[in-house]
Structure 1
Amino acid sequence: MSTPLSILDLSPISDGSTAQEALRNTVDLAQHAEQWGYHRYWLAEHHFVQVASSSSITLIGLVAANTSTIRVGSGAVQVGHHTSASIVEAFGTIDALYPGRLDLGIGRSGHRRAQFGAESARTKPTTTTRRTEVRDGVVVPPPFDPGRIADRSRFVASLGALQQRGAQPLDFADQVAEIRALLDGSYVDSAGIALQAVPGAGARVQLWVFGSSAGESAELAGRLGLPFAAAYHVSPGTALDAVAAYRKAFQPSVQLAAPHVIVSADVVVAEDDATAQHLAGSYGHWVHSIRSGKGASAYLDPDTVGPLTAEQLRLVDDRLATQFVGAPDTVVRRLEALQRVTGATELVITSATYRHTDRLESYRLLADEWARQATQAA
């Protein structure tokens, strides 16, 4: 039970609330998380939806300024929307004021415009024979098929709005190489001209790669000997495969002698199972808003939300089955299983509830129970 717990925050906006309030809640949660012993506080990057973490690097600086010891970082910067220099200079600026506390997590989400094309063409869902498995207490559903999202026009439009006209993202591996060179001060452009990121070169920033499947991100992280974060909370059907691919590709580096894996989980904790289930009652509606193609909606009040239809449930059933909901001991048992099956070095917890007080209590109860059981096991 010595596995550290960390937090991944999307700064969700509750129905009837505002982005301003969500941002204040994020800073408040980060301050509490530091008191409760969480190891890292990561901010996600999402755009044109009802979450307030769109400018995640700015928010990282604000969280760092309002905390003292907890590591702060990105989970993850979507590098296809940024130049390598802008990323390194931004993190270098924050590190200059709060040195040695930053995690630069990078993901390739911003590269998907080329994959989907400029038009929101409909892709027929693929069929799979794989059924939901339970591996030593961990639910592993069939992989979610993006072809089930009938309308991707909003998603494609958002990708277009996040890039200059005519701009094309670098190959992911090439951009990771640029970021590393800018951080260590060895960057040379194609014409042989050396450039130094100021601030940025020499920043004490820990570089992470995020991924959700056994593809390019997992293999690249392993090959470069970088730490890897697997998104079980987003893609529970493929996250375990991502971990396996990372471990298979891993080569020791200056940064790591052995694989270092952090695995995410979506969690709601309350004093008892029934209360937690009630607080999580609008989670399925939120996931459906994402998977329907509309983008994350405001988080609804479980006291007033109606039930999902059978068709809606079919689109989100994997995420409902893999959300960790219950009393502290219930959730800790399931998280222990996830850590055991994946061999995770750390777990990163993401929680969304309608009321900020309920989200605070969820994280507090989890931290207390995790520490209590660690003490008993010692």
Structure 2
Amino acid sequence: MRLGILDFCPIRKGRPPAESLYESVELAREADALGYSRYWLAEHHELGLAHHSPETLMGLIAGSTERIRVGVAGILMGLHSPMRVAKVFKVLEAFFAGRLDLGVGAGSAEPPVLAAMRDGAPMVGDHRQDYVRRVKALLEFLRGESPLHFNPLGVAPPPVWVLASGSPETASLAASLGTCFGHSLIHPKSRDDAGLAARYVEEFRPRPDMPKPRWVVAVTGLCAETEAEARRLASLSSDDPKSGLEIVGSPAQCRERFQALCERYRTDEIIFKDFAPDAESRLRCHRLLAEALQLTNK
């Protein structure tokens, strides 16, 4: 089993947002040394989180680590130009070849933020249609299938991950486009249904650059030396979503639940978002998980 990290970059109580950015870089360095597979950053635009530009922080983290894959999970495509996203990730891939992941999601933002980021441009069709159109355009730019080309030419694109939290249509979209698939059990409306991953695998259309399906499952939770301590820390966290599938407990308990989840979804990789209340317990959480799963031996 492999384990990756999803980081929302929460702001600690009474601390400035910039401090959380440094915390993320330090955690990524530790995760790199501990044997974690990926370090993914989310895009959100609420003021309770420390940044709203994950692709910028992603480059800094990739440059501060050596081995771990770094990515965004995911870029909210409804807020961005597909060409602009393709250009950013092609430049980053030139520096960090083979280490980047580009996740795309259908989420949005508050109407004033949405209008400002789109500079007033209207959606084409409804939200779903606009999202699908933008994902397809992004892939055309990355794969060199568009009549428009841009530098750096000759740089292979990073893997694209189509992300979902319960939509069968999104699982089918990932399969039809020949991309990776990430299923989130973190969000309030997440659907814990292994049939979605099975649907993706069954419908997957291979491509030369993606001959086999690849999928992960994301969960949230907290690990400490004992279950009691983990639950005590969870009660202190303002980042606890109180929703989705939570895995809270001792290292052995977390390992057992991770293994059960992998078996149900027939995957070999979990992406974990902790809701530790402070930097110290967060670091301890990931060290305990790395030891329990023997990540450094893989």
TM-score by length of 2: 0.90
Identity, in percent, stands at 31
Per the alignment, residue 223 of structure 2 pairs with 269
- The 2-side partners of 1:240 and 1:49 are apart by 34
- The 2-side partners of 1:239 and 1:83 are apart by 32
Q: Quote how far apart the aligned CAs of 1:166 are.
A: 3.3
Q: Quote how far apart the aligned CAs of 1:185 are.
A: 2.2
SS, match of residue 174 in structure 1:
helix
Per the alignment, residue 123 of structure 2 pairs with 168
Unaligned runs of 5+ in 1: 114-154, 189-194, 289-315
1:358 to 264, 267, 281: 281
Corresponding pairs, count: 293
SS, match of residue 75 in structure 1:
strand
- The 2-side partners of 1:23 and 1:107 are apart by 22
Post-superposition, which runs of at least 4 consecutive aligned residues in structure 1 deviate over 6 A? none
Q: Do residues 31 (structure 1) and 42 (structure 2) align?
A: no
Which has more radius of gyration? Answer: 1
Per the alignment, residue 281 of structure 1 pairs with 235
SS, match of residue 363 in structure 1:
helix
Question: Relative to 1, partners in 2 of residues 1:282 and 1:197: Cα closer, same or farther, differing over 3 Å?
Answer: farther
How large is the RMSD of aligned CA atoms in angstroms? Answer: 2.3
Q: Quote how far apart the aligned CAs of 1:200 are.
A: 6.6
1:32-71 superposed matches below 5 A: 32-71=30-69
- The 1-side partners of 2:27 and 2:239 are apart by 21
Per the alignment, residue 187 of structure 1 pairs with 146
Per the alignment, residue 106 of structure 1 pairs with 104
Question: Relative to 1, partners in 2 of residues 1:39 and 1:286: Cα closer, same or farther, differing over 3 Å?
Answer: closer
1:1-378 superposed matches below 5 A: 3-110=1-108, 155-168=110-123, 171-188=130-147, 195-199=148-152, 202-234=155-187, 235-238=189-192, 240-283=194-237, 286=239, 316=242, 318-319=243-244, 322-371=245-294
- The 2-side partners of 1:51 and 1:260 are apart by 30
SS, match of residue 221 in structure 2:
strand
State whether residues 234 and 240 of structure 2, in contact with CA within 8 Å, keep that contact through their aligned partners in structure 1.
no
- The 1-side partners of 2:95 and 2:263 are apart by 37
Unaligned runs of 5+ in 2: none
Which stretch shifts more, 363-372 or 161-170? 161-170
Q: Quote how far apart the aligned CAs of 1:204 are.
A: 3.9
CA deviation map 1:171-213 (0-9, x unaligned) = 333222221221122312xxxxxx2122376334111111111
Question: Relative to 1, partners in 2 of residues 1:245 and 1:71: Cα closer, same or farther, differing over 3 Å?
Answer: same
Q: Quote how far apart the aligned CAs of 1:335 are.
A: 0.8
SS, match of residue 281 in structure 1:
helix
State whether residues 93 and 155 of structure 2, in contact with CA within 8 Å, keep that contact through their aligned partners in structure 1.
no
